[in-house]
Structure 1
Amino acid sequence: MRPRLVAAAYFGFGGDDDRLLRRVAAAQQLLHLGLCMHDDVIDGDRVRHGRSNVVGLAELEARAAGFSTAAAARQGEASGILAGDLALNAAVHALLSAPTADATRLRLAEAALVAVERAITGEILDVRSEQLAPASCDPLRVALLKTSSYSVTLPLLLGALAAGTEVTPLLGALERIGAAFGIAYQLSDDDLGLFGSPAATGKSATSDLRDGKRTEHIRLAHARADEEGRAVVDAVLGKADASDGDADLVREIVTATGARAAVHDLINWHLDHGIDIAFENLPPALAAYLADLAGALRGREC
């Protein structure tokens, strides 16, 4: 998705150098992979998209070599951190050596580094929120910083900047569109994380609960539930050995309180808001492409 957004913005603003586009789109994907590897370390994940990730592969190799469980885990985590560092470094290097004017290279690299800083801020807030009461958390702000910044806003900015766009209002519109679509994407992702099919998503539907993720579903359900319902959510949220049955109880509360329906309304509002900004500010072909993309985010199943 992210390289496609780079390409959409690049062509939408008149870019025509395929060599430059490939470099910038690849840099965007490398940045994404680097942050994913770091995220896997933070979350203790060994699998991504149904397959062993870098951490998991390195840990398996260490165990096969005779390392103890603790030593193998250390090898896995170190590999994830260092591989993520390499990917981020490669992304910035690709932008700084892109086949374009020096000024454009610097603008591209600066945009990427700002997005990484925002994503790190969102990650810190996300991790810290795991120890807070749901009412004290702000999942939408986390989504804005952690997801929107580099998954939607940055690709659009990179494509526009590579095409030579310097008009501040246009770049500002792209940031607002990225914020709206990014929040919608994260809310949709959270919905799949609680209600999705593991066979379709490649992810457990209980892992977010076990990790104690304070999603908007949980924040709203906790606020709307009665005392008994809140007690159930508190007991399951962050429980490392939460069962499928435990998760089903939370799902029932999220649904019964109207929290899930409210999140779906939020998803649609943000998508509609982003589409409106696109058609008001962007070239028609680019606005239409983004509107089609928004449509694909409604009712996601994977």
Structure 2
Amino acid sequence: MTDTAALVEQVQARLAGHERRFAALFEEYFRTLPARIGAPEFSRFTPDCLGLLRDLSLRGGKRLRMVLLHEAARLVTDEPVPGLDEAALSVELFQTHALVHDDIIDDSPLRRGGPSTYYAYRERFPGQPRAALGLALLAGDLALALSLTVLLESDAPPEVRRAMVEVQTRASLDTSVGQIIDMERDFTALPGEEVLHQVADFKTARYSVLAPMRLGLLAAGGKPELHDESLRRYARLAGISGQMRDDYLDLFGEAEVMGKPTGTDLADGRRNYLVRAVLTAADDSGRAVVEAALGDAAARTPETVAAVRDIARRCGAEAELRADMRHYAERAAAEAAGWRSRWRPEAVAFFEHLPLWNVQRAL
């Protein structure tokens, strides 16, 4: 077995084990949630909203955030940790919140192979766009409130519960700023690389990597504040690599695998890592094709997507992004390698492998 194959197999095994256990936990959480919400008996919209959140949440993918949380706890101990299940529910509910709002901002009809919450409401309320938009926004807000409430109701010690709520509240603030600067980026003809890094850090890395790791360490008594600088570096590097992967797959991925169509970033006018690389490296005619496609939903045809793919390959932008993706993953892995004297080496190895595995599954 090659080193790469062994790496993929190791990470896949850890992911599968966590996912099987969490699927049952999440299912049970949503089964008992309506009775605990305490909505008025007359309300039909509240259980319908919870049903849509449940549907989106249970259509989850690799559950990497939940896995990061569990593996962060394993850095400290391999024993059961009070409050870890609730922290796992919290990070996945927060992800549901982020996806609902993302799909409103992007006007996305599909998410995880099914209808987005926004479009599900549009189907329920044809001819009433304000109601559909309002209910979708409230669904996302409700998921955020649930992500905090589940921490307050956990069996972790009071001081740990408070610290975990602070982590998720900060993640919410950072993600909101990330969404704002993500939209602001697209008003710049050619955003600088550091701008893209900041967007990836605020919008993705801080809630998808840093917050789950902080929560896992907190639950296990690991005192993340003592190692915050290193955790931040790891999260930022892994987040940049992961965002490059997402940008790459939006053009070069397979719609059936991703659960959404390719070329959406082009149609939405998103000047992401790959678009920046193409606009920087292509000749005048290639740049003209890309600029014409940016922000033009009508231009998102298989022919246009194929043309931009061809330009990206010919000018070297595809190869450049793949190399950059691996570069940042390797830097994240090197950061994690420095934890071996601090935490359990067998758990540290997972964080070394994860960024490289994430790149490998994109190429």
Q: Same fold (TM over 0.5)?
A: yes
**Which residue of structure 2 aligns with residue 214 of structure 1?**
271
2:209–2:235 Cα contact (<8 Å) kept: yes
SS at match of 1:134: coil
- Distance in 2 separating the partners of 1:289 and 1:136: 32
Note closer, same or farther for the CA distance 1:196–1:51 as it changes in structure 2 (3 Å cut). same
**Which residue of structure 1 aligns with residue 176 of structure 2?**
120
What letter corresponds to residue 39 of structure 1 in structure 2? D
| Greater CA drift, 16-25 or 115-124 | 16-25
1:148 to 205, 209, 212: 205
Deviations 1:52-101 (A, max 9, x none): 121122221223xxxx2xx1x33332222111111111111222332222
- Distance in 2 separating the partners of 1:176 and 1:244: 38
What is the root-mean-square deviation of aligned Cα atoms in Å?
1.8
1:157–1:175 Cα contact (<8 Å) kept: no
Runs of 4+, deviation exceeding 6 Å: none
SS at match of 1:281: coil
2:82–2:219 Cα contact (<8 Å) kept: no
1:170 to 220, 227, 232: 227
Cα offset for 1:166?
1.8
**Which residue of structure 2 aligns with residue 60 of structure 1?**
123
**Which residue of structure 1 aligns with residue 150 of structure 2?**
94
**Which residue of structure 1 aligns with residue 9 of structure 2?**
none
What letter corresponds to residue 77 of structure 2 in structure 1? G
Deviations 1:6-52 (A, max 9, x none): 11111221263455110111111111111111111111112101201
- Tell me if 1:6 matches 2:62: no
Cα offset for 1:135?
3.9
- Distance in 2 separating the partners of 1:167 and 1:254: 41
- Distance in 2 separating the partners of 1:94 and 1:157: 17
- Distance in 2 separating the partners of 1:172 and 1:286: 19
1:251 to 309, 314, 331: 309
**Which residue of structure 1 aligns with residue 319 of structure 2?**
261
1:48 to 106, 111, 114: 111
1:15–1:162 Cα contact (<8 Å) kept: no
**Which residue of structure 1 aligns with residue 290 of structure 2?**
233
- Distance in 2 separating the partners of 1:44 and 1:266: 30
What letter corresponds to residue 280 of structure 1 in structure 2? G
- Distance in 1 separating the partners of 2:140 and 2:346: 35
- Distance in 1 separating the partners of 2:224 and 2:240: 25
What letter corresponds to residue 291 of structure 1 in structure 2? E
- Distance in 1 separating the partners of 2:250 and 2:224: 38
2:218–2:224 Cα contact (<8 Å) kept: no
Aligned length: 295
2:245–2:362 Cα contact (<8 Å) kept: no
- Distance in 2 separating the partners of 1:268 and 1:301: 10
Runs of 5+ unmatched residues, structure 2: 1-63
1:292 to 325, 347, 353: 353
Deviations 1:229-274 (A, max 9, x none): 2211111111120122122222122222211211111111111111
Using CA pairs below 8 Å that are at least 6 residues apart, which structure has the higher relative contact order?
1
- Distance in 1 separating the partners of 2:312 and 2:124: 41
Note closer, same or farther for the CA distance 1:177–1:241 as it changes in structure 2 (3 Å cut). same
**Which residue of structure 2 aligns with residue 28 of structure 1?**
91
What is the TM-score normalised by the length of structure 2?
0.77
- Distance in 2 separating the partners of 1:191 and 1:170: 32
2:238–2:332 Cα contact (<8 Å) kept: yes
Note closer, same or farther for the CA distance 1:74–1:226 as it changes in structure 2 (3 Å cut). same
What letter corresponds to residue 269 of structure 1 in structure 2? H
Note closer, same or farther for the CA distance 1:270–1:257 as it changes in structure 2 (3 Å cut). same
2:335 to 271, 277, 285: 277
Note closer, same or farther for the CA distance 1:175–1:22 as it changes in structure 2 (3 Å cut). same
Note closer, same or farther for the CA distance 1:254–1:128 as it changes in structure 2 (3 Å cut). same
Cα offset for 1:220?
1.6
What is the TM-score normalised by the length of structure 1?
0.92
1:54–1:76 Cα contact (<8 Å) kept: no
- Tell me if 1:85 matches 2:148: no
What letter corresponds to residue 180 of structure 1 in structure 2? L
